[in-house]
Chains A and B, each alone.
Chain A
Amino acid sequence: MIDFLVSPFIEFAFMQRALLGAVLLSISSCPVGVFLMLRRMSLAGDAMAHAILPGAAIGFLLYGLAIVPMTIGGLIAGAVVALGAGAVSRFTLQKEDASLAAFYLISLALGVMIVSLRGSSVDLMHVLFGTVLALNDDALTLIGAICAITLVTLAVLWRGLVAECLDPLFLRSVSRIGTVVHFAFLALVVLNLVGGFQALGTLLSVGLMMLPAAAARFWTARVGPMCVLAVAIGLASSLSGLLLSYHAALPSGPAIVLSAGAAYLLSILFGTRGLMAVRSRHRHKAA
């Protein structure tokens, strides 16, 4: 059993790197996912993940499969879409979901178009689904830096984020920081998706962000514990996904996201605030 769990990571450096990358990503993007979910922006995360694509694709077009240009390209594209959609929703009548949908659809089509200008379908698969088993030092450094930035930013903005989610009008009545918080948070989303893009690709990185968060929602009614729990579920999913992919020769990215998906489905059923708990409340208390 120990052998089953541990030996892949002892014997193979690429497995160690994959695990380290996935652990850093979980710590970083799962709390971001919790706030995305609580702000009812779960699908915005998905949209943003698509939005990164054209930037990464331009980096790829110019420099091939190199991490730095693709990352910078992804950040720029993500920032343009996040700021664009954020500005449209904040300063016009259109809501965030509609403006995001508009921006990301344009981005996605553009990205696929650009990749196909040069690459094969294998390249497209790489950009869309990533390669957690081929993380190099650059990629790990990048993910580590993103993790550190995210944790520091969340710690600093925590009170503002909670206020902005819970009662945005109140926050605006006592402080002008709401707008700053809003855009800083969108920046974190983009940053984490770009970080996850190396390992899991643009399409699946949002899976590690949202699924543990959505699962954690079924277990607790407080934000702090919810973030911790989401990270724990993310870590467990990363580990089980990598082991699954190693032992059963499955693609690693989908295995990680499917593990998180399994955690989500189990949480719906068995969570303390899930279906079974709600169904079993036939017995009620006297007051």
Chain B
Amino acid sequence: MTQPVLAFRDLTLGYDRHPAVHHLTGDVARGSLTAVVGPNGSGKSTLMKGIVGVLAPLGGQVGVAPGTRIAYLAQQSEIDRTFPARVIDLVRLGLWGKRGLLGRYDAADHANCRKALQAVGLDGFQDRPLDTLSGGQLQRALFARVLVQDADLILLDEPFNAIDVNTVADLVALIRLWHGEKRTILVVAHDLDLVRRHFPETLILSRRKVAWGPTLDVLIPENLARARNFDEAWSDDAPWCEPDHVHGGPDHVHGGPDHGHSHDHHDGHARHEHPRPAGAPAHGHGSGRGGR
């Protein structure tokens, strides 16, 4: 196989030193189409931000193959829809990678943007102000921008949220088209039926990696239950996650601060206890937490 487009090595991402993605290791193969699923707060969006470089890792690495062009579509709420811009202005942002701050758009660029709008079913919408678009139309416009970006690696964060059935079908068709063009695609999604139907690979996240592989092998009740039961809370009293701890193995469960093993905050130094040796079976958690 060729070199992976993306490689996570013991990757920890988070905010204010609290991990949101914890010790993730794995590769994303070139040309793969992967769904990233997991409950709210499980680190899916954080992972996307880490890949695109908006968020620096707290530990470990994200390796992106050199020369990879990345297109990142954040959740819709990140966009200021009241900004006085037209649909075409939004789509043209996709030319940034090619033209940057000052490069002039040439005739081919304009033709590309027009074609992208046609491809997402927004022909004739180019001069419409953004604030007149429906949620579905805005998402189509954002997909047009991804098209214009012409990227090797495409990251879509919850593209199907609050989108009607027809639009989802069209957007999925576009994603499958990109897949056919050997682009690498990661999509954060919640609709598991949709994932089963259209996504060959799935990564289940619940802060740590729960499972990653062929969708039908991964999306099994046991894994989903484990993903659901993760502990969303983080605590200021959590001990430091020790750097010398060995994190390895695809299904290794890390006995981190949120897994409830004993720790006395007031003993003067943070201890990090491992309820079991590294590489322990995947279903184990730290002691002291019942009723899972």
Contacts and interface: CB of A to CB of B under 8 A. Distances in A.
Contacts of B97: 174
A98 interface: no
With most chain B CB atoms within 10 A of its CB, the pick from A160, A163, A173 is A173
Interface in A155-176: 156-157, 159-160, 162-163, 165-175
A265 interface: no
Contacts of A93: 16
Contacts of A168: 78
A166 B79 contact: yes
Contacts of B78: 167-170
A220 interface: yes
A156 B84 contact: no
A38 interface: yes
B223 to A, nearest CB: 30
Interface string B91-106: 0010011001110000
B239 interface: no
A170 B74 contact: yes
Interface stretch (A41-49, A64-72, A102-110, A221-229): A221-229
B84 A222 contact: yes
A7 B280 CA distance: 91
A177 interface: yes
Contacts of A174: 72, 96-97, 149
B102 A167 contact: no
A162 B54 contact: no
Given A156-B102, A221-B129, A222-B85, A167 B79 contact: yes
Given A38-B83, A166-B79, A166-B85, A173 B101 contact: no
A162 B80 contact: no
A208 B90 CA distance: 30
B72 A223 contact: no
Nearest to A175: B96
B184 to A, nearest CB: 16
B277 interface: no
Contacts of B291: none
A177 B103 CA distance: 14
Nearest to B15: A93
Contacts of A223: 83-85
B86 A222 contact: yes
Given A160-B101, A173-B72, A222-B85, A166 B54 contact: no
Contacts of B85: 162, 166, 222-223
A156 B100 CA distance: 11
Interface residues on A, range: 20 to 34
Nearest to B129: A221
A127 to B, nearest CB: 36
A165 B80 contact: yes
A222 B84 CA distance: 5
B53 interface: yes
A121 to B, nearest CB: 43
Contact of A166 (B52, B72, B83): B83
Nearest to A161: B101
A84 to B, nearest CB: 21
Contacts of A226: 84
Interface in B96-133: 96-97, 100-102, 129-131
Interface in B60-98: 70, 72, 74, 78-80, 83-86, 89-90, 93, 96-97
Given A156-B101, A160-B101, A163-B93, A173 B52 contact: yes
B279 to A, nearest CB: 36
Nearest to A163: B93
A173 B70 contact: yes
A70 to B, nearest CB: 34
15 contacts: A93-B16, A156-B101, A156-B102, A165-B83, A166-B80, A166-B90, A167-B90, A169-B74, A170-B74, A170-B145, A171-B96, A173-B53, A174-B72, A175-B101, A220-B84
Given A167-B90, A221-B84, 4 more contacts: A165-B80, A173-B52, A173-B72, A221-B86
| Smallest CB-CB A-B distances: 6 pairs | A173-B72, A221-B129, A173-B52, A174-B96, A169-B74, A169-B78
